[in-house]
Amino acid sequence: MMDSLFNFASLTVEPFTFVVNPQKRIYWGYLLSGMLFAVLVLWLSKQNLRSAFVKALGPKVWLHPSSMQDFHWLIFNHVLRVLIIVPVIGGSLSFAIHLNRFAIKTWGEGNFWQVAEWQMLAMFTCALFVLEDFTRFLVHYFYHKSPLLWRFHAVHHAATVLTPITLYRIHWLEMIINSLRSLIVVGTLSAVFIYCFENRISIYDVLGLNIFNFLANTIGANLRHTSLWVGFGYFERWFVSPAQHQIHHSSAEKHIDKNFGAILSIWDRLFNSWVPSREQKVVQYGLAGQDVNVPENFLASFWGESSIPIVKRK
């Protein structure tokens, strides 16, 4: 009994160690590099650094009731993931092995090609990054377009202040869907490469992350869930800037259903949901019609944000 209580207590505390885990986006190295990148951009744009950082990350922001909800979801989802989701869903490697066995039984032995190791490394790394990024965009798109899915995704958008912890503020059903998406994408792509090539598959990683995800985290992915206005100028046509994601969180009607992308913004341009940050301004974060003076309640949103007025999706 005592061991079970101790293990459960350890699970609830573990999310606070994410800051020292390089495979988590809120790893201290990514936080530091993001802040340095923000300092550079804000300094070049002649903004007041002190006021910008106090407004974005001061005590009032971290102690805001909305930020407290972020921590509630972070802890709850971590415990749920470790105790239920991971044991039930399993891993992408096991999924890939089963798919490969099915392919061999159905179409016979594969291993059609053998290429240089560096070519395999480059192909699989790039393919995995692009497919992961596109499917993240697509699932995110349907979260907004489906009234049923929006009810749960609205938990994330109900945040009225943004901190890097807001990344983990997602409804438990959304977390399950995201886990299934990752399992299917990584497992299926791995199975295709295993079946078609004689080479051993692997990715070019840094600190355990795909090199492209590592670069995104280093450059400033954590700035997306802050109010530090950092745009990429012309490069926003290709890469999602922190400012563009803040537009996505805006409660203004003109910003609804814009900038769904995770890293690449080309999908938004293809789906006509792309908005550059230039000449845009975010006045308030949250849901359209949301009364920001009403305290949020974790238990009330456990089955989705059904009590907050939600505008008709476009």
pLDDT of residue 249: 97
| Structural domain total, the chain | 1
In this prediction, residue 305 carries a pLDDT of 75
Residue 285 located in a structural domain: no
Angle of helix 147-157 versus helix 172-196 axis, rounded to 10: 110
Predicted local distance difference test score (pLDDT) of residue 311 = 43
CA angle 8, 14, 15 (to 5 degrees): 120
Residue 294 belongs to some domain of the structure: no
pLDDT for 310 equals 46
pLDDT < 50 regions, the chain: 309-314
State pLDDT tens for residues 127-163.
999 999 999 999 999 999 999 999 999 999 999 999 9
Which residues form the domain of 83? 10-270
pLDDT at 213: 96
Please check whether residue 296 lies inside any domain of the structure: no
Residue among 259, 264, 81 at smallest CA distance from 174: 81
- pLDDT at residue 214, as a whole number: 96
On whether residue 150 sits in a domain, the answer given is yes
pLDDT of residue 2: 56
Nearest to 85 by CA among 179, 153, 174, 14: 179
Inside any domain, residue 313: no
Q: Does a structural domain hold residue 45?
A: yes
Strand boundaries in the chain, DSSP class E: 205-206, 209-210
- Domain presence at residue 114: yes
pLDDT tens-digit map of 122-133: 999 999 999 999
Query: Residue 159 contacts by C-beta under 8 Å, 6 or more apart in sequence?
Result: 66, 69, 70, 166, 169, 249, 285, 286
Residue 56 lies in a domain: yes
